[in-house]
Structure 1
């Protein structure tokens, strides 16, 4: 049995490093595909160069995506020891993970069947909403038009990305970057109640 008010509820969770991130939609009028991911820039193997690291992932990224990572400027003052190409790698991987999670499929999905076109090349704490998706294999049953993305830094060492698609005719964006909230554990559990026995 599914209560009517929960029929179109969708949510997704991710954690990495110091952060747990959650995205959800409770609108009864629309069904939304949602995926979220977060990455810790400090997970890089100590002393490993981007070229050696990225070789392992060539089957997961398109040539344009690899070029975006390689073309990271060298003169920026990165807020951590992770170089800028690695930061762009984590940003791109975060988007890929959010996408496949929103589709509800495993990471063995062909990640080169689509690519991300990033307009705002440098992330900050203000949400970026300009990243778009280019579908390279239109025949894929999983990929349709109408996706929107949000990404930003959580702090100097962590980024997040959200992928969303609304099941409506006009495919309006469901994100405008204004509803990001940060909770500590006390705030998160303040209104918590035991799960009703009838739903167990």
Structure 2
């Protein structure tokens, strides 16, 4: 079972974080890509949008959703953080630079045709190139399911680690995976 791309491929969730560059920092080149290999536009909707230029933040609130082709990220709130390229002066607008990260809070869902991941929160950190999903994390591909408290993904290598604080055989809440053999690309296992 493969929840993450092999080394050298982009993880779509991190690509979504880059999609946010389109909103609050128009001087930064658009590198958005939610759906692997797609040049389709990224469509972000929410009940409201607040841009705080002095803090280089764009906050999408209320059933926030970003779509590109057949990939989707949903959360109650999506907060996009940019580096301050030039501090705001009195009466002047701040200049915001590169993407620092993206925070997704509340009912976080990331869905592609091949996989689904659910968590309470997710943080993409551009400097460390990691995605950390926390709180009741459930990752599914086809019928295969992996559960834990915290999923940390190193985007550049495709390596991931599922963690939980529960320890010891028979202790409820430990990392758990249910895998169906003979399954390819999200198809149910063949009956014999």
TM-score (norm 2): 0.32
Between Structure 1 and Structure 2, the one with more strand by share is: 2
TM-score (norm 1): 0.31
